[in-house]
Each structure stands twice: as C-alpha cells, then as structure tokens.
Structure 1
Amino acid sequence: MKHRLRLAALSALFITSLAQAAGSIDIDVHRDANCGCCKKWIEHLQANGFNVRDHVEADMSAVKQRLGVAPRLGSCHTAVIDGKFVEGHVPAEQVLALRKRDDLLGIAAPGMPMGSPGMEVDGMGAEAFQIIGLTRDGRDVLVADYPAR
C-alpha cells in the first residue's frame, strides 16, 4: 500500500512537472472542422499546459504538404511547434521532447491508434503505437514505442 501511494505521488509530480514545463509553449493545431478526435487531442495538450492556437482548415492535404508531412506518416490533424510538425495523436510528453531534437523535422503517430491521446474510448484498451520522427535527410526513426494496454 505504501508503495502504491509513493508511486501515485510520483506520477502526480511528473504530470504536474510536464504541465509546468509546457506552461507557456504555444502550438498551432490545424484540423478539419468536423473531427471530434482532433478536439480531444487539443484538450489533451491544454490539460498538459500548452497554449493551443486552433486553425480550422478546408484542405488538410494542402496543409500537410506545405509542412512536409509525408503521406506514410499521415493522420487527421497536424500541429506546428518551433517550426516542426506534429502529426496525429502524439502524447504531450513527445511534443515537448521534439523541441530538443534538432535532427528532426517533425514527429508523427501515423494513423489513428486507438487509446492514443484523443482516441480514448471507454471500455476499450489502447493498441500499441509508435512515434516516428522524420530526419532532415528524409529518414524515418523510431522516437517512442507505446505498448498495448
């Protein structure tokens, strides 16, 4: 029991630290007007301290092309932070980590993995998904691996 309380306290401290670290960080999110999961991902970012500038777009394909998001990395929404793209349902902790990665043009959670931030469904577990980074020379690199839960 004591171990569980300690673990819960450490988890709360981590989440609070994450939110404080993101506290004054602006991020632009481009999304389709009719996408509910995009709005949920925005809520995830805001809950983690990001200041989200929400841009409703008529042509997301054009936005992705302009930002250099390769079709193989595609998802439903695209964000921009510090000039780098964030494609899809990427956890806030990875968005923060991207800011320290000068070797990457952006990161993506390709597709729409069930259980990723914004894709949670009551009663359903999360499927495994990966965060893929796009290097300046056009290579994909594994940034993070999230197991099924």
Structure 2
Amino acid sequence: MPATTEHQLRRRLLQAALLLPFAALAAPPQRQQVEVWKSPYCGCCKDWITHLENEGFAVIAHEVDDLDAARKRLGMPARYASCHTARVGGYLLEGHVPAREIRRLLAEKPKAIGLAVPGMPVGSPGMDGPAYGGRRDPYDVLLVQADGRARIYLSYR
C-alpha cells in the first residue's frame, strides 16, 4: 500500500473515531411506546392517542370488544375505570392521563400499578376539543398503588 493511501486511510479512521460520539447526539431520541386497549367506537380515545403522539410518544392501539376483560387481565382495578387502558414502561394508565404526568411517572419510577383518571372528565386530554365548548371540569390524576389503593398524584383545577 503506498504511503499516501495508508496515510489517508489512517486520517479517515481518526476522523470517524472523533466524530462517532457526536453521531449519537444527532440521532433522533427513541420514542417511548404506549400500548392502548380501547373500543373501536370511542372517539375520545382516538383524541387521547393523538395527544400522546403530539407529545412524542409512539402509540400502538388494540381495539377490543370487552374493555373490562382487558383491564382486568392487565391488572388495573375496576374502580378506576375509564374508556381505555394503556401500558407504558411497566405501568398501567387508565383514562385520560395527561402526557406530563406520564413523563413524571416514568422519571420518578414509584412502586405502583400506574396512573388513573377515572371517568371521562371534560377538559382532560382527549376530552378537551371544540365539541366541549372550552369547558374544563376539575379532576384528579391518581397514583394507583400496588395494593390497589390510590392517592392524588396531581389535581387539575
């Protein structure tokens, strides 16, 4: 191999080695995946999924005919029921949980089943479109603990 070609090869390898750490910075971040179990007929569930996608989550939706059975199989207590159940990072989400609280849950990693917004409060993500005329009802995001009890994680007023 001629000296100039060997020199060029070494220079290219050195440049690549120096730039490699910066390549990871340029790569797009991995989107956190959320799996959602919902009725095929629920429009507000689709709106909540859109909220999550707009907030950077990757969503996989499973349409089921028996949401109660799916919720039970996943392990969310029925008393916190809403119109959809989701799973993210080893936690369950019930109802219209805001993306902000999902990110907080994933960062804090409490020992818990997950988060729940029981019912379908107007003003929560997915229940906040123009059809509701700007109405915002107060609601709580609950941290559902491993024993099935819950405490308020954050109140929206």
User: TM-score when scaled to structure 2?
Assistant: 0.76
Alignment root-mean-square deviation, CA:
1.4
Of 85, 102, 116 in structure 1, the residue corresponding to residue 110 of structure 2 is: 102
| Aligned partner of residue 49 in structure 1, secondary structure | coil
Partner Cα separation in structure 1 for residue 50 and residue 92 of structure 2 = 18
1:54 aligns with 2:61: yes
SS in 2 for 1:111: coil
CA contact (8 A) 2:77 2:148 kept: no
User: How big is each residue's C-alpha offset from its partner over 1:8-55, in whole Å with a ceiling of 9 and x where there is no partner?
Assistant: xxxxxxxxxxxxxx8510110111000000000000000000000111
Q: Which residue of 2 aligns with 1:115?
A: 123
The equivalent of 2:154 in structure 1 is 144
Identity of aligned residues (%): 39
Find the structure with the greater CA-based Rg: 2
Q: Which residue of 2 is the match for residue 133 of structure 1?
A: 143
Gaps of 5+ in 2: 1-28
SS of 1:64's equivalent in the other structure is helix
Give SS of 2:94's match: strand
8 Å contact kept, 1:23–1:49: no
- Aligned residues, how many? 126
Does the CA-based 8 Å contact 1:91-1:116 persist in structure 2?
Answer: yes
Q: Is the 8 A contact 1:90 1:117 kept in 2?
A: yes
Q: How far did residue 121 of structure 1 move?
A: 3.8
Any unmatched runs of 5+ in structure 1?
1-21
Aligned residues of 1:106 and 1:133 also touching (Cα < 8 A) = yes
Matching of residue 45 in structure 1 with residue 55 in structure 2: no
Are 1:91 and 2:98 matched, yes or no? Answer: yes
Shift of 1:113: 0.1
Following TM superposition, the consecutive aligned residue runs of length 4 or more in structure 1 with deviations greater than 3 angstroms are none
Bigger Cα displacement from structure 2, 121-130 vs 79-88: 121-130
In the alignment, the residues of structure 2 paired with residue 70 and residue 115 of structure 1 have an alpha-carbon distance, to the nearest angstrom, of 24
